[in-house]
Structure 1
Amino acid sequence: MLEQEKPLRLAAFDMDGTLLMPDHRLGEKTLSSLRQLAERRVTLVFATGRHYLEMKQILANIDIPGYLITGNGTRVHDLNGTLLHASNLPEESFKTLITHKWPTAASFHVFRDDGWVTNQDMPELLHAHQFSGFRYQLSELENISASGNSKVCFCAAHDELLALLPVLQTCFGDRLDFCFSAYDCLDVMPVGSNKGSALALLTDRLAISLSECMAFGDAMNDREMLESVGRGLVMGNALPQLKQQVAHLEVIGHCKDQAVSHFLQHWLNSPTLTYSPEY
């Protein structure tokens, strides 16, 4: 638990598998709880692998103020949309990523400030973005500039990505970071870019101690953030690998049941009682 003398000042939330239900919508209970936190003057941070342009639209639609950590920590924006931090893939590494013939059938996706770019038309991937209307742009990979690319994603079945990961690690060594943002999504990141480092940068700017923060997440791209705060909360539907690596952290319920809201209602109304994820 957070130390008694350090009240909660900031709450950070992953989106997919955490705030969002399996149909990729924000439930009404979740929205209500977020608004109650904001009314308590708790700073809200939405930390996600999704693109800034998409998250900007989502926050505008729900009318809830929040700082944005997007692209798994490669971009940080303040409440007014001002860019506070940006990190990009090294140009030479990006050139290798798009020109090498990787031994995989995984689709290839690039995040840039001007949007999400891929060379494959895969309408099924848009299901996760239907509530925001965010879409990819089609382009031949060799036409993408080597500068200004925040991350690359390989999307495929989990076993396919598990086979690809050591190939990428052997090729790039310590020049890039890798993480699973979902079972079917392997992200390639600039070294040191993650939600935890981005949150540390933001809290330092806001003069808030990480011990005064709580965070919620479900995937490996949430690990650094969850471990850095005063109270890290792991979703019941989290990736098994995450649960194993942060076994010391508290596990709450499933995103399908709006478990973040269930926990927040306990924290808002019965903070001195022991929390149980059972409904």
Structure 2
Amino acid sequence: MIRENCKVIISDLDGTLLNQHHVISDYTRSVFQELHQQNYLIVVATGRHHLDAMPLVEKLGVPLYLVTSNGARIHSPSKELLFSINMESDTVKSILSLDIDPEITTVLFREDIWQTNRHNEKLNSFQKEVTYHPQLVDFKKLDDYEAIKIFFTHENHDKLKKVRDLILEQYPDSFNHAFSLPICLEFMDKRVDKSVAITKILEIENLNFNHAISFGDGFNDEMMLASTGKGLIMGNAPETLKNKLSHLEVIATNHEDGVAKYLSESLLK
């Protein structure tokens, strides 16, 4: 049934297509090259910035649509920018003016750099090749706050929940937000979501979500997973996501090449 209807493969990156070393394995690469040979449309949808994500997906060696910053950017298989939306400067400034715990690493995703209030070694480790450079700043001294998204990270999930609640209390209907990982909280423009961006791509290709199979492991994948004809949750996803989408199948972890193994067994055999 999957093989008959499926024309589109959609995958998140971190915790999904990337293994525990934040790279695409040779096995995953070989499976995606075979999928391309069989004319499947491939979409990668990530919370990462496009400058960060592009060298990672290039390792697949296939043309693909790239959705980045949770849907704030769409690039075509030829790397043409198809869609772009930012958070306004005053909006971002108002969030940063709130009483946010200074222990939390705060990041503004800008077009060419990411600005942060503190050096974070774990965050830096997610980039194997540094194509998107950090800049340490005092957020009180910026002239312009326009950003693609705001990113908060801390090892203590409860601290991030307090930040989420603080922002939502002040601005209950102004933003879209998600935990991409339990240690990563992201706020975007209200119109930004991976599923919205993917809808735009499917319209270009005269397809719809019923033709798609998707893979993800975070709450920023929730709408994408729920919308596709077949949504699959990674074994390494948080239990809270598995419980919330309990009707969806859970597959092997990203450490085990779960996406590639599932696709090989379901579509290529």
Q: Please, what TM-score do these two structures have when normalized by structure 2?
A: 0.93
Q: Which runs of 5+ in 1 are unaligned?
A: 271-279
Tell me if structure 2 keeps the 8 A contact 1:104–1:160. no
Choose 108-117 or 96-105, whichever is displaced more. Answer: 96-105
C-alpha deviation, 1:152, in angstroms: 0.3
SS of residue matched to 1:174: coil
Q: Which residue of 1 aligns with 2:75?
A: 77
Identity %: 29
Q: How large is the Cα RMSD of the aligned pairs?
A: 1.8
Matches of residues 21-36 of structure 1 in structure 2 within 5 Å? 21-36=19-34
Q: Please, what TM-score do these two structures have when normalized by structure 1?
A: 0.90
Give the counterpart of 1:41 among 36, 39, 42.
39
**Counterpart residue type for residue 37 of structure 1:** L
Q: Which residue of 2 aligns with 1:99?
A: 97
Q: Which residue of 1 aligns with 2:86?
A: 88
Partners of 1:207 and 1:265 in 2: how far apart? 25
**Counterpart residue type for residue 223 of structure 2:** E
Q: Which runs of 5+ in 2 are unaligned?
A: none
Matches of residues 1-279 of structure 1 in structure 2 within 5 Å? 2=2, 4=4, 7-103=5-101, 105-131=103-129, 134-141=132-139, 142-143=141-142, 145-147=144-146, 149-157=147-155, 158-270=157-269
SS of residue matched to 2:241: helix
**Counterpart residue type for residue 217 of structure 1:** G
Between Structure 1 and Structure 2, how many residues are aligned? 267
**Cα gap change, 1:132/1:31 in structure 2, threshold over 3 Å: closer, same or farther?**
farther
C-alpha deviation, 1:192, in angstroms: 2.8
Tell me if structure 2 keeps the 8 A contact 1:109–1:152. yes
C-alpha deviation, 1:101, in angstroms: 2.6
C-alpha deviation, 1:104, in angstroms: 5.3
1:23-42 CA distance string (max 9 Å, x none): 21211111111111111111
Tell me if structure 2 keeps the 8 A contact 1:104–1:164. no
1:125-182 CA distance string (max 9 Å, x none): 21111255543222332326233x1100010021211222211110111011211011
SS of residue matched to 1:189: strand
Partners of 1:267 and 1:144 in 2: how far apart? 52
**Cα gap change, 1:217/1:143 in structure 2, threshold over 3 Å: closer, same or farther?**
same
Choose 130-139 or 218-227, whichever is displaced more. Answer: 130-139
**Cα gap change, 1:123/1:188 in structure 2, threshold over 3 Å: closer, same or farther?**
same
**Cα gap change, 1:132/1:8 in structure 2, threshold over 3 Å: closer, same or farther?**
farther
1:190-235 CA distance string (max 9 Å, x none): 1131111111111112211210011100000000111111111110
